[in-house]
Structure 1
């Protein structure tokens, strides 16, 4: 759910910083996840357990079995932030080098190798629309979407310029049960949790 409307000042640093202050003040008081997009503040009321969290755990463990030691499939904080674009996002899984995590504050989105999202029942458009727009804009080269509602997903790659800004040029759809390649690593989607839409 978007809780702050788009405005003419959206791109301004002052407006962005004010939204970031609002999010930080709500972090420990309200459930769910808050992010700043080109459209304003998005509140995702994800469930603390169930298919979403179990899928995130499966993906992290499966990726870390095939990736080199210097990389991690990180599921914690902080956010990734591109202040110049007025965007702060929090991917469910971030594939990143350990060395790039050793920074104060938010991660630089251009240090991520991939961002992975597990679609939330409360706000699927945030993953399928908003992040498809925002992630190439802030330079995340690979975006993988897993949707427990449908048992399917997609991997988006190859950022290229368009009149509407950078976009992913390549989309590879998959269904649960198939192997899926995220950046340089292939993992199984067999047995990932499902949930009704």
Structure 2
């Protein structure tokens, strides 16, 4: 599947990811409020973090070849040293993955990534949902009969402070999608 996605780069619009269920294709490019939310979260986190860490919003993807999963979080908290090298990031080096829910495919963030991120060993997953002005921070991976899952979920509303791993940031003035 990875080879197929590489051949699709720049030929089809949207974003591709490989999940346990197959390929996810988000056909619409993120809207301005999606990108603004990711940017504000990134900047707020980086104000709280040490210089050895970064809240990264670019490429590459995170990939686990043994699991057959390739994802691209909107924001990845990772050590600068773990960004060195070629190819996809090792998902086990991420401190947190942060997603801004897609207006066109919210199930990808609320269902698929909630399943895949603990399987990849990403210890903290934060979801910001501009459709509802709410979100959740998931942590504490534990085994279940259906595979690893997050045991702890802390819900929040926009306007409240939210703690992602060790860092607390404001959700004040995060944009919402137009209805």
Partner of 1:85, secondary structure, is coil
1:103 counterpart residue number: 85
2:154 counterpart residue number: 172
Deviation at 1:48, TM superposition (A): 4.2
CA RMSD of aligned residues (A): 0.9
2:38 counterpart residue number: 56
1:89 counterpart residue number: 71
2:125 counterpart residue number: 143
TM-score (norm 1): 0.89
For structure 2, the 5+ residue unaligned runs are none
1:126 counterpart residue number: 108
CA contact (8 A) 1:32 1:46 kept: yes
Provide closer, same or farther for how the CA distance between residues 46 and 118 of structure 1 changes in structure 2, counting only shifts above 3 A: farther
Give the Cα–Cα distance (whole angstroms) in 2 for the partners of residues 48 and 161 of structure 1: 33
Deviation at 1:45, TM superposition (A): 2.7
Deviation at 1:195, TM superposition (A): 0.7
For structure 1, the 5+ residue unaligned runs are 1-18
1:40 counterpart residue number: 22
Give the Cα–Cα distance (whole angstroms) in 2 for the partners of residues 129 and 48 of structure 1: 19
CA contact (8 A) 1:34 1:44 kept: yes
Higher strand share: 2
Deviation at 1:96, TM superposition (A): 0.1
Q: 128-137 vs 40-49, which deviates more?
A: 40-49
Deviation at 1:177, TM superposition (A): 0.1
| Runs of 4 or more above 4 Å deviation | none
Give the Cα–Cα distance (whole angstroms) in 2 for the partners of residues 146 and 31 of structure 1: 24
Give the Cα–Cα distance (whole angstroms) in 1 for the partners of residues 37 and 27 of structure 2: 17
1:25 aligns with 2:27: no
Partner of 1:31, secondary structure, is coil
CA displacement 1:146-178 (0-9 Å, x = unmatched): 000000000000000000010000000000000
Partner of 2:154, secondary structure, is strand
1:16 counterpart residue number: none
Give the Cα–Cα distance (whole angstroms) in 2 for the partners of residues 190 and 45 of structure 1: 29
